[in-house]
Amino acid sequence: MNRYVFFLLFELVCVISAQQQNIKQMAAETLSELKRLFADQKGWTEVQNFDGIKLEERFEPKYQKKIRRLTAEQPDVPVARVVSVLLYKPEEQQKFHKSIDFFNVVKKIDNRIRITHGQITPKTSTGGLLETRDDVTLQAWDYDANTGSFYVGYQSVENNIPIPQGAKRVHSDPTGFRITRLNGGKGTHLMWLANIDVRVPENIPPQVFEIFARANMIEYVNNLFQYIRSSRT
């Protein structure tokens, strides 16, 4: 190997290393911000509470938009299965939530960080009020041994993945799940924070979109729990 080729390879390794360090830093910042949003109890307004699922909303000044927080306790849904579906086997989501067209792992950075690409075409019980949309996100996870909680965070990341035909790309600020053990792991306490710029079409009244967004979150979580119960071995 001549010196010129060696120099080019060395530069390439340095660039890749710098990119991975930037991604790891972004992952740490995403999880830190997600934990902050979960911990901040100020300003939340309860908008729905039905069948063990509570949905709250508040205006978040940092992002200049409304964010949502869903809380659900399921004493008979094992936390290990919830973690498996949301973290280790995201492709399973297509089996229980018909709005998900695909959810793929594009690149694995390490055991806790990866790049994902998902697409949704709303097909919930509220009807298809939104167009097909996709998002490319940095996904990272962390475990807090003191509380027995898994954190799974997402944030949109710059990428060169083309937008699928007919889809609109949305932007996710730090968003994700906190999954906590109940009854020694036999049950699950789930929190989901939605912090997404959906870019609602102008022809959809805000009040109508609010109904859709709330129903979609609740339906997703109900479907998740029902899927886990039905797939027990």
Provide CB contacts within 8 A for 81, sequence distance 6+. Answer: 228, 231
Residue 25, number of CB atoms within 10 A of its CB: 10
Provide CB contacts within 8 A for 215, sequence distance 6+. Answer: 124, 125, 126
Q: What's the pLDDT at 116?
A: 92
Q: What's the pLDDT at 31?
A: 96
CA 146, 28, 200, 206 torsion-angle sign: positive
Closest CA to 155 of 19, 23, 42, 18: 23
Q: 22: which 2 tokens?
A: 């930037």
Q: 9: which 2 tokens?
A: 């390879």
Whole-model pTM: value is: 0.87
Q: CA-CA distance, 87 to 151, in Å (whole number)?
A: 9
Q: CA-CA distance, 56 to 48, in Å (whole number)?
A: 7
Q: What's the pLDDT at 14?
A: 43
Residues (pLDDT < 50) of the chain are 6-8, 10-16
The two counts, helices (H) then strands (E), for the chain are 4, 12
Q: CA-CA distance, 56 to 226, in Å (whole number)?
A: 22
Q: What's the pLDDT at 71?
A: 97
Q: What are phi and psi of 86, to 5 degrees?
A: -80, -20
CATH topology of domain 3-230: Alpha-D-Glucose-1,6-Bisphosphate; Chain A, domain 4 (3.30.530)
Provide CB contacts within 8 A for 139, sequence distance 6+. Answer: 113, 114, 115, 116, 152, 153, 154
Q: CA-CA distance, 145 to 127, in Å (whole number)?
A: 41
pLDDT tens digit string along 62-112?
A: 999 999 999 999 999 999 999 989 888 877 888 888 888 999 889 999 999
* Residue 177 host element (H or E): strand 175-182
Q: CA-CA distance, 61 to 42, in Å (whole number)?
A: 12
Q: CA-CA distance, 179 to 34, in Å (whole number)?
A: 13
Q: Which residue has the tokens 């007919």?
A: 166
Domain ranges of the chain: 3-230
